DNA sequence: TGCTAATCAGTGGTAATTAA
DNA sequence: TTAATTACCACTGATTAGCA
């Protein structure tokens, strides 16, 4: 089984092209260096966006092809996100924790970060949130309406509360199997409202 | 280790389509721009891909007889279906599980996917369904009213699928017992009307 | 140092292939 | 065609490592 291979990202998930109505973030962020890790697991594709409003000065992309990471003596690049970028990311995160690749890409374009970075940020954010929840929920003192408590509500509909910030999630700290519903409601990130909901039923083959 | 299922989410979102009525798929999907997958390793893609509603990019795989797949170093192309496409496919699947070649072709045209992809999808769908059926019939706790599927929705809000009939397609193909619920009903949040909560998308950035 | 971006390693779903 | 495999790919959890 091949575990990972490089990925060519050809994938297109649900193309949010729909209407991305994104709020046009026109930030003037400042720095955003991307680096590319071309390691296996991820793909990186650097979309070249060298001119994004967020400023992209990419330091130098490590040569990519060759695993830049394993290079001893090579520093790993660490993207320094601007406040603005973080703000946007957090805002989005409160809405949905697991954007699709495509959404990551769009969002990345909006704020001037490579898709990969956005993706990683979300991953880390999810991890962080989870860890946090577990911590507070653990110790004996769970009694109470614990903040994170096992909220019976459904993750589907209970999106995080807007103001909630990261912890807005209902998901119980414990990943109960049953819950694997993973809250990820993937939806179009930037709330693209475009096409109404139309699940066009399949026509029984137009014969 | 039960981790959560991952991705599944992207796909099957709400499936209330059961009733789906008007088909009307009039997509013009056919564009099919194909991208040739870039090859070898990383590279990336970046260009935005097509814009058709379906986006279908058909990679036209297997082109020549030289089995595209066996080519070492050559990645096998993997079609990434959009939600819309999946929705349609599932809906169709609920109607008839074994469409003819012709039907596959027509359907493919409607949604912008090559006949072959449609055909394969149906094959896999049948296989998955079968597997699923076998699985649920076994393990403990199957009690539930629904013979076919786990109901992912939440009772609180009942947001998810109303009738959730799962079109005949039990999405959860997960083998793991515990996970069987992982059907992640991902739904399109976007359209979730419920919470008026205005998810602040990306803040308008103060320039 | 703590926070967190990036990476490593492993898991699971599923599109595409191959065998029967 | 079905059944079994193979290969792709996004995700999670755990680490590693940069920088305030």
Q: What is the pLDDT of residues B159-196, one digit of tens each?
A: 333 333 333 333 333 333 333 323 333 333 333 333 33
DSSP 8-state symbol, A171: -
Which residue reads 């400042």 in tokens? A30
User: Integer distance in angstroms from CA A120 to C1' C3?
Assistant: 15
Number of domains in chain B: 1
Give yes or no for a contact between B114 and B33, defined as CB atoms under 8 angstroms apart: no
Residue A198 lies in a domain: no
The protein residue nearest nucleotide C17, judged by CA to C1', is B69
Which residues are CB-neighbours of A109 under 8 A, at least 6 positions away?
Answer: A47, A49, A52
* pLDDT confidence bin for B133, thresholds 50/70/90: confident
Residue A148 has pLDDT above 80, yes or no: no
Residue nearest to nucleotide D1 (CA to C1'): B123
A163 contacts on B by Cβ (under 8 Å): none
Percent of chain A as helix, strand, coil, to the nearest 5: 30, 0, 70
* A104 belongs to a structural domain: yes
pTM > 0.85: no
Residue B115 falls inside a structural domain: yes
C-alpha gyration radius of chain B: 19
Q: Which residues of A touch B102 (CB under 8 A)?
A: 207
Q: What is the CATH number of the domain that holds B94?
A: 1.10.10.60
Residue that wins the pLDDT comparison between A73 and B195: A73
pLDDT of residue A96: 84
The whole-number average pLDDT for the span A115-126 is 93
Which tokens sit at A145? 């309406």
pLDDT score, position B136: 61
What is the C-alpha to C-alpha distance for residues A68 and B39, in angstroms, rounded to an integer?
A: 19
Residues A94, A91: Cα–Cα separation, whole Å: 5
What is the Cα–Cα distance from B136 to A106, expressed in whole angstroms?
39
Check CB contact of A186 with chain B, cutoff 8 Å. yes
pLDDT of residue A137: 60
What is the Cα–Cα distance from B204 to A26, expressed in whole angstroms? 7
CB atoms within 10 A of CB B63: 10
Dihedral of alpha carbons B81, B86, B92, B96, sign: positive
In this prediction, residue B94 has a pLDDT band, given cuts at 50, 70 and 90, of confident
The DSSP H or E segment spanning A91 is helix A83-95
Through-space separation of residue A173 CA and nucleotide C10 C1' in angstroms: 22
Residue B173, Cα to own-chain centre: how many angstroms? 12
Q: Is B8's CB less than 7 Å from nucleic acid strand C?
A: yes
> Is B51 a domain residue?
no
Rounded, the Å distance between the CA of B122 and C1' of D1 is 11
To the nearest whole Å, the CA of A91 is away from the closest chain B CA by: 6
B83 touches strand C (CB under 7 A): no
Q: What is the DSSP letter of B111?
A: H
Judged against a pLDDT cut of 50, whether residue A143 lies above it is answered with: no
Measured between beta carbons, the chain A residues lying within 8 angstroms of B188 are 185, 187-188, 197
Chain A residue nearest residue B35, CA to CA: A10
As a three-state string, the secondary structure of B35-53 is CCCCCCCCCCCCCCCCCCC
Alpha carbon distance A101, A186 (integer Å): 10
Q: Show which positions of strand C are touched by protein (CB under 7 A).
A: 4-18
Chain B interface test: which of A15, A38, A159 (most B C-beta within 10 Å)? A15
Domain that holds residue B97: 83-136
Determine how many CB atoms are found less than 10 A away from the CB of residue A130.
16
Q: How far apart are CA A102 and CA A162, in angstroms?
A: 23
In a domain, B176, yes or no: no
Asked if residue B37 keeps its beta carbon closer than 7 A to nucleic acid strand C, the reply is no
B116 lies in some domain: yes
CB-based contact B195 A157, cutoff 8 Å? yes
The answer to whether B188 and A187 are in contact (CB under 8 A) is yes
Q: How far is CA B55 from CA B52, B91, B101, B154, in A?
A: 4, 19, 22, 32
Contact between A128 and A135 under an 8 Å Cβ cutoff? The reply is no
The nucleotide lying nearest B99 (C-alpha to C1') is D1
Maximal CA-CA distance, chain B? 59
| A40 touches B at CB < 8 Å | no
Closest residue (CA) to C1' of nucleotide C5 is A78
Over residues A1-19, mean pLDDT: 36
- A106, A119, A200, A207: best to mutate for the B interface, most B CBs within 10 A: A200
Tokens of A102: 């495509």
Residues 6+ apart with CB under 8 A from B85: B54, B56, B111, B112, B113
**In this predicted structure, what is the pLDDT of residue B83?**
84
Q: Judge whether residue A175 has pLDDT over 70.
A: no
B72 CA → C19 C1’, Å: 20
Partner A contacted by B165 (CB < 8 A)? no
Let me know if A111 is exposed, middle or buried by CB neighbors in 10 A (0-12, 13-18, 19+): buried
- For chain A, the average pLDDT equals 53
Shortest-distance nucleotide from A37 CA to C1'? C6
User: What pLDDT does B84 receive?
Assistant: 86
A123 contact to strand D (CB, 7 A limit): yes
State whether residue A92 sits within 8 Å of chain B by CB.
Answer: yes
Domain membership of residue A116 (yes or no) is: yes
**Does residue B170 sit within a domain?**
no
What per-residue confidence (pLDDT) applies to A89? 93
């Amino acid at each position: 089984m091949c575990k990972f291979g490089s990925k060519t990202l050809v994938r297109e998930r649900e193309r949010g092209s729909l209407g991305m109505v994104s709020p046009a973030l026109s930030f003037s962020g400042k720095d955003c260096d991307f680096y590319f890790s071309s390691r296996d697991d991820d793909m990186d594709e650097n979309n070249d966006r060298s001119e994004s409003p967020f400023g992209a000065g990419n330091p130098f992309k490590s040569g990519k092809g060759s695993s830049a990471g394993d290079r001893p003596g090579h520093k790993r690049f660490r993207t320094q996100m601007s406040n603005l970028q973080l703000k946007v990311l957090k805002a989005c995160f409160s809405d949905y924790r697991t954007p699709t690749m495509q959404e990551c890409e769009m969002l990345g374009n909006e704020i001037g970060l490579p898709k990969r970075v956005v993706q990683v940020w979300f991953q880390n954010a999810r991890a962080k949130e989870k860890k946090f929840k577990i911590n507070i929920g653990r110790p004996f003192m769970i009694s109470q309406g614990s903040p994170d408590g096992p909220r019976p509500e459904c993750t589907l509909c209970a999106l995080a509360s807007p103001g909630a910030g990261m912890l807005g999630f209902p998901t119980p700290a414990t990943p109960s199997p049953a819950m694997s519903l993973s809250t990820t409601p993937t939806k179009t990130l930037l709330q693209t409202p475009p096409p109404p909901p139309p699940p066009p039923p399949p026509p029984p083959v137009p014969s």
